[in-house]
Amino acid sequence: MDKITLHGKTFRPFIKNEELEGIIDDVADRINADFAECEDVPILLCVLNGAVMFTAAVMKRLNFNVELCSIKLSSYVGTQSTGTVLMPIGLTSDVKDRRVIILEDIVDTGNTIVALKELLFSKGAKDVKICSMLMKPEVYAKPDKIDYVGKEIPNAFIVGYGLDYDELGRQFKDIYVIDAQ
């Protein structure tokens, strides 16, 4: 794995695909255990665009029926959270009386995930679980529990496996961290 350059900034290798696959096996095992033999069909909610790869990877490991739904949210500009959560695409399914499992790429301040949880309950969701591939506990500032976390990482800006720097870098199968400027 070599360094990559996106919009003039360099990023170095951080989490290899093999490790990510193991992290996702783990998360999926925990979800399967909690939803084993469920009689309803929970909604798997992909937070576009970042969670696209993670959602596909988790979904193919699940051993109960799910319905896939998406929403597009964004709060980052460049390498910084703006604190304002925009919703360029709303929920693609009705969540009323349904159990929802949110799939997110990374939880940072928690603004996105908490706003989404509130939206889902306001639309009548029966239960909401949050599953995030990665989390930055140093900056997380909300009381809400993140039900399934793949891996905790330090507060650094990363790209790859769906995560972007101003829309670039999503296609890499490994994760890269920004080099000190």
Q: Which residues are known catalytic residues?
A: 108
Q: How many CB atoms lie within 10 A of CB 6?
A: 18
- Minimum CB separation of residue 65 from Mg ion in Å reads 26
Nearer to ligand IMP, 43 or 113 (CB): 113
Cα–Cα distance for residue pair 110/115, rounded to 1 Å: 8
Which of 15, 91, 106, 120 lies at the binding interface for ligand IMP (CB under 6 A)? Answer: 106
132's contact among Mg ion, ligand IMP, none, with CB below 5 to 8 A by partner kind, is none
Is 50 a binding residue for Mg ion by CB under 5 A? The answer is yes
Site for Mg ion in 91-120 (CB under 5 A): 105
Nearer to ligand IMP, 43 or 133 (CB): 133
Spatial CA neighbour of 49 closest among 12, 95, 11, 103 = 103
Site for ligand IMP in 43-62 (CB under 6 A): 47, 50
The answer to whether 128 and 113 have CB atoms below 8 angstroms apart is no
Residue 146, SS3 per DSSP:
coil
The answer to whether 43 and 67 have CB atoms below 8 angstroms apart is yes
Site for ligand IMP in 123-162 (CB under 6 A): 157-159
Q: From its phi and psi, is residue 155 left (phi > 0), alpha (psi between -120 and 50) or beta?
A: beta
Structure tokens at 167: 């829309």
Which of 4, 28, 104, 129 lies at the binding interface for ligand IMP (CB under 6 A)? Answer: 104
107's contact among Mg ion, ligand IMP, none, with CB below 5 to 8 A by partner kind, is ligand IMP
Give one DSSP letter per residue of 16-69, joined into a string.
-HHHHHHHHHHHHHHHHHHHTT-SS--EEEEEETTTHHHHHHHHTT--S--EEE
Is 169 a binding residue for Mg ion by CB under 5 A? The answer is no
Which of 76, 144, 151, 168 lies at the binding interface for ligand IMP (CB under 6 A)? Answer: 76
Nearer to Mg ion, 105 or 160 (CB): 105
Contacts to ligand IMP by CB under 6 A: 47, 50, 75-76, 81, 104-113, 157-159, 163
